[in-house]
Amino acid sequence: MQRLKLQLVLFLSISTCHTVFSFTDGLLPNGNFEQGPKPSQLKGSVVTGHDAIPNWTISGFVEYIKSGQKQGDMLLVVPEGDYAVRLGNEASIKQKLKLIKGSFYSITFSAARTCAQEEKLNVSVVPTTEKRDWGIIPIQTMYGSNGWESFTCGFRADFPEAEIVIHNPGKEEDPACGPLIDSVALKVLYPPKRTRANLLKNGNLEEGPYIFPNSSWGALIPPHIEDSHGPLPGWIVESLKAVKYIDSDHFAVPEGKRAIELVAGKESALAQVVITTIGKTYDLTFAVGDANNECEASMMVEAFAGANTVQVPYQSKGKGGFVRGKLRFKAVSTRTRLRFLSTFYTMKSDNSGSLCGPVIDDVKLLGVRYPTHA
């Protein structure tokens, strides 16, 4: 009996490893909902069985939406493939995943609201050892232009198996007013370390959440207070609004393949707390540019290092390009908070009403050995 148990455990762990190693960053199984319920499990567009959508478990009022389907006068568009789901009041979808315990992950998913009012989604990963194991992500469509937006969040896997739950906590009168969900993806994050060449972590912003290769609107990183579990390792998104993670396949990026677009003016800031030596002089250098996304404006990025600040102006023609900024400061504490924000609110010149802003990238912090000679 004892032996059998052991063999069973071994077998389980081997099969677990196999599944884990076969995981590649990207869409979850049926993450874009292209495989749908059997006709017998649909009543109109309403999904009637908990397990009707392959690889997912649903609860509550969930609809299976085909691209081009009409809701009143509104044509419902789906960003990836032909199908998406709509979560009614208190409805949720979830999927069980095998994870590497102790590793950090980011979730990226696309969502669109279907009615005028503000909508919210509650994304959680269960079980976890965290006290608060969920995050409310407001669906703000003003950043994008086709109604869809990709959102991200991060978590640490506390168990080798967990469920990702996307839940609509809404209580609207019209049940057809819930948000649409499409394309749910997962990516392993490798928390970067400080190096001799940069005292900042992930200063080039290359390590971050998954961006759908076919989406031309980047991915929003909502504000979070803790840096250890966020989808952008090393960094904290402060204040009220999100910043946008952009890729060089669809945007102009000053360095490497990824950067951050500050889309919410002073309402969002990108921050990192660094270890500094009191009395030592440091140079904070960074690139400020535009994403080549018709964001034509006089831009200004404010950089802070503790109480020191510099304003870097950048004249954007909306066609890409960047300038370099620098802030020299003497540390007065063993921990210095570095922050970047956009002084102004900017909108795209394509009449879409979408918010846009300056791009920040290639952030470096170095000690200055002989400050008087530099």
Helix intervals (H) in 207-280: none
How far apart are CB 77 and ligand NAG at their closest, in Å? 14
CA dihedral 260, 217, 166, 61 (to 10 degrees): 160
User: Binding mask 194-223 vs ligand NAG (x if CB under 6 A, - otherwise)?
Assistant: --------------------x---------
Q: What is the DSSP string of 150-179?
A: EEEEEEE--SSEEEEEEE-----SSGGGPP
What does R_g of the chain's alpha carbons equal in angstroms?
22
Q: Which amino acid is at 57?
A: T
Using CA of residue 159, residue 20, residue 82, residue 353, what is the dihedral sign?
positive
CB of 268 to ligand NAG, least distance (A): 22
Residues 5-34 that bind ligand NAG (CB under 6 A): 29-30
Whether 224 contacts 322, CB under 8 Å: no
Structure tokens at 334: 């063993």
Among 67, 122, 146, 281, binds ligand NAG (CB under 6 A): 122
To the nearest whole angstrom, how small is the minimum distance from the Cβ of residue 167 to ligand NAG?
5
Residues 68-107 interacting with ligand NAG (rule: CB under 6 A): 80
Residue in the block written with tokens 């419902």: 76
> What is residue 205's three-state secondary structure?
coil
Contact between 38 and 52 (Cβ < 8 Å): yes
Nearest distance from residue 319's CB to ligand NAG, in Å? 24
Residues 130-169 that bind ligand NAG (CB under 6 A): 134, 136, 165, 167, 169
Residues 31-70: x where in contact with ligand NAG by CB under 6 A, - otherwise, as a string: -----------------------xx---------------
Size of the site for ligand NAG (CB under 6 A): 13
CB of 238 to ligand NAG, least distance (A): 22
What is the contact surface with ligand NAG in residues (CB under 6 A)? 29-30, 54-55, 80, 122, 124, 134, 136, 165, 167, 169, 214
